[in-house]
């Protein structure tokens, strides 16, 4: 009986270690809508996932302040432009991250998420498509839950194996 109690305590202690928590599922959210015939994106991404991708420098997640998040706008913008693509029937759309005064945080799934508004400028309002490659290099199980509210309305899950929506 004593062995079972000790084993239970050991398992509980191991489950509370930071290393054990590092294996959480990595999930981001993206809302895509249309405003004045242009796409508007809202990327909800875990600060933990951004820190794992070293977008705030080498410091541990527990030491990241809001000022550090804001100070890394350029790195975040470059990361988004490299890992998120938006196209229309005529080709690539440009992406611009909103001013930091429009950034917010939100508690989701027991994690703190950064809400990043992104404006896309497209030549055509037809055949919009998103390609998502963010955080796959640091989170092998990363998924994007997509809420598509432009033209047609749909929900999709994007992953490393299925990273484009919609598929034409």
pLDDT at 59: 66
Domain ranges of the chain: 25-165
pLDDT per position as a tens digit, 45-60 = 999 999 988 888 776 6
Beta-strand pair 154-158/129-132: unpaired
pLDDT at 11: 38
Determine the Cα–Cα distance for residues 41 and 44; give it in Å rounded to an integer: 10
Determine the Cα–Cα distance for residues 153 and 110; give it in Å rounded to an integer: 28
Q: Which residues pair with 84 in a beta bridge?
A: 132
pLDDT at 60: 64
Considering the entire predicted model, what is its pTM?
Answer: 0.82
pLDDT at 15: 41
pLDDT at 156: 96
pLDDT at 2: 42
Q: Which residue has the tokens 């996932």?
A: 49
Q: What is the CA radius of gyration of the chain?
A: 19
pLDDT at 152: 84
Q: Is 157 within 8 Å of 106 (Cβ atoms)?
A: no
Nearest CA to 130 out of 114, 118, 140 is that of 118
pLDDT at 63: 72
Name residues of the chain where pLDDT drops below 50: 1-23
Nearest CA to 42 out of 103, 133, 88, 85 is that of 103
Angle at CA of residue 46, ends 39 and 138, nearest 5°: 100
pLDDT at 37: 92
Nearest CA to 102 out of 16, 42, 59, 50 is that of 42
Quickly list H helices, 22-163: 47-52, 66-71, 73-83
pLDDT at 138: 83
SS3 15: helix
pLDDT at 124: 95
Q: Is 8 within 8 Å of 15 (Cβ atoms)?
A: no
């Amino acid at each position: 009986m004593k062995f079972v109690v000790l084993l239970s305590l050991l398992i509980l202690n191991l489950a509370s270690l930071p290393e054990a928590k590092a294996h959480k599922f990595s999930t981001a959210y993206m809302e895509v809508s249309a405003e004045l015939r242009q796409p508007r994106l809202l990327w909800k991404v875990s600060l933990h996932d951004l820190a794992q991708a070293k977008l705030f420098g080498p410091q541990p997640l527990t030491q990241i302040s809001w000022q550090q998040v804001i100070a890394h706008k350029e790195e975040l913008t470059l990361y988004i432009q490299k890992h998120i693509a938006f196209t229309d029937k005529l080709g690539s759309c440009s992406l611009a991250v909103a001013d930091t005064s429009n950034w917010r945080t939100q508690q989701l799934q027991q994690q703190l998420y950064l809400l990043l508004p992104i404006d896309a400028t497209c030549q055509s309002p037809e055949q919009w498509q998103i390609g998502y490659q963010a955080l796959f290099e640091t989170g092998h199980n990363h998924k994007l839950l997509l809420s598509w509210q432009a033209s047609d309305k749909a929900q999709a899950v994007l992953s490393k194996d299925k990273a484009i929506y919609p598929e034409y």
